[in-house]
Structure 1
């Protein structure tokens, strides 16, 4: 099978194609013939910043071709999607069934990798913030895979004002079409402040201005892999809260809630309320081009690799 491997070379991150045998499903795992692979920002960052070889993780969707010992609820032939942490950039991938779910009839593999993981993060961040109807919600990285769904979810859940923060004015029309009432650029002075809630998918240097955009008693949910530092005083003077959110903790620690959110996402998708945006479908062997689209902040929605 074709698999992409990260090979650092003199400071340059190379994604190299190789032919290897298919992996084997272990206990609690299923082996999937991949039809679509979602590229995630954490993987792109690790490849760019890591000194050693990085395991290429991502969302995977396709048909189950083998099940490991002890697996229940999944059978050969089922169409599934899930987050694969090791060797996702391949024609076959192994999924832990705790992170896997069925793809409804009529939904494509590309829909699945664009909707489920990104939608779950958007849904979970919204829940962590305890957004009330009528509140003002600011979403950073609003044109990305998670952010584009977070904008739509905030609108569907009754936010009084949805503001999309993006890196370029060229993305304004895209996020407005998703339901944003206003678009701000990261370079703007106040980001349309004050906001009751900030859903931050960028982190790093943008975390501090995101906190400053909060209203008194506001909440910011940080769910990106970008890190960042916040002065406690900035929270103190606003009576604000900073909340960290990680989807894997919900998947493994609260599986019933995880499953309920997944069902909700597919219902909203079927109703046309959530429309996962796909920036590009790129051949698996050209994975470096997919990474470049995200690194250059050009993507509008999900970047998908197709074996």
Structure 2
């Protein structure tokens, strides 16, 4: 089978190489999946760009179960599933742990699944972490991204009174408004149109400080970015603002029933036509470096997908 191998960053091809390797065997509690779609994520792109030791390129995958490992119940060959692959996901075949596996409804495609499920549960999770009440205002950074474009829609569906999407490129404004955003703010602008009751931040870095300062008195910022950043304590003390860290893996491990409930909500909204996952572009497996370049340039509107 074919697989993308990462060696190191900084090369013209991004350190990504196509190789032929044997099809892996599922261990106990694992599913061997014939991959139909792979969702490219910013954390993986950042890991590759940072260089360093070779790592397995994991991420969201969707496809058909070929074989189940020892002790697996509830799944069988032929089932269509999606989930987070912690090993080699950029491949024709990948291993998926049963705890992360989710069935794909018949009305959805593999690309729908990788655009919706993982990013969608993160979006729902950060909204709940923000304790967003009906009628409150919310700012979503990286609003055109894989998580952000769903968070904008879900904030509206959950009764937010004012939804604003923040982007780095004004050319994305039309796309973000089409998702239901009332307004679009561009990074670098004064106050980003605030103050807001909640900010959902997927960017971090140098934008973290301005995001905190855009909060209203008592406002909450949920930080779920892999981009780091520094916050001044004074910015929190003023008007009693707070920052909450969110990690979806922790929720999936500690409260799997909560994670499953979010997945059910996503599929229900999708089936009703209320939630529309967007795919910016599809790339062949051999073009993984090009897919990474789109994410790195922040050029995407929705999800970037690899199709083996």
Identify whether the pair has TM-score above 0.5, normalized to the shorter chain: yes
Q: Distance in 2 between matches of 1:231 and 1:11?
A: 36
**1:106-153 CA distances to partner (integer Å, 9 max, x unpaired)?**
210000000000000000000111100000000000000000000000
Is residue 100 from structure 1 mapped to residue 101 from structure 2 by the alignment?
yes
Cα distance in structure 2, aligned partners of 1:272 and 1:205 = 37
| Mapped partners of 2:51, 2:233: distance in 1 | 30
| CA distance in structure 1 between the partners assigned to 2:46 and 2:20 by the alignment | 25
Aligned to 2:92: 91
Cα separation, 1, equivalents of 2:11 and 2:243: 35
Instruction: Give the deviation of 1:54 after TM superposition.
Output: 2.6
- Structure-to-structure mapping, 1:92-241, within 5 angstroms: 92-241=93-242
For residues 144 and 49 of structure 2, what CA distance do their matches in structure 1 show?
Answer: 21
Contact kept, 8 Å, 2:9 with 2:49, in 1: the verdict is no
Distance apart, 1:24 and its partner CA: 1.2
Q: What SS does structure 1 have at the residue aligned with 2:105?
A: coil
Number of aligned residue pairs: give it. Answer: 307
Q: Is the 8 A contact 1:214 1:238 kept in 2?
A: no
CA contact (8 A) 1:34 1:60 kept: yes
Alpha-carbon distance between aligned partners in 2 of 1:73 and 1:30, rounded to the nearest angstrom: 11
Q: What SS does the corresponding residue of 1:191 show, helix, strand or coil?
A: helix
Alignment of 1:292-303 (within 5 A): 292-303=293-304
Q: Could you say which residue in structure 2 is the equivalent of 1:62?
A: 63
Structure 1 residues 231 and 78: alpha-carbon distance in aligned structure 2, compared to 1, 3 A threshold? same
CA drift of 1:163 comes to: 0.4
Distance 2:213 2:35 in 1: 43
Q: Is the 8 A contact 2:10 2:51 kept in 1?
A: no
Q: Distance in 2 between matches of 1:9 and 1:239?
A: 42
Deviation at 1:9, TM superposition (A): 6.3
Matched, 1:7 2:7: yes
Gaps of 5+ in 1: none
Query: For 1:91-120, what per-residue CA distance to the aligned partner results, in whole angstroms no more than 9, with x for missing partners?
Result: 000011111100011210000000000000
Q: How does 1:257-272 map to 2 (within 5 A)?
A: 257-272=258-273
CA distance in 2, matches of 1:10, 1:178: 35
Q: 10-19 vs 275-284, which deviates more? A: 10-19
Separation in 2, partners of 1:68, 1:227: 38
RMSD of the alignment, in Å? 1.0
TM-score by length of 2: 0.98
Q: Deviations over 1:41-91 (max 9, x none)?
A: 100000011322232111000000011111111111110000112110000
- Following superposition, which runs of at least 4 residues in structure 1 exceed 4 angstroms of deviation? 9-12
Q: In the superposition, relative to structure 1, how do residues 10 and 306 fare at CA in structure 2: closer, same or farther (>3 Å)?
A: closer
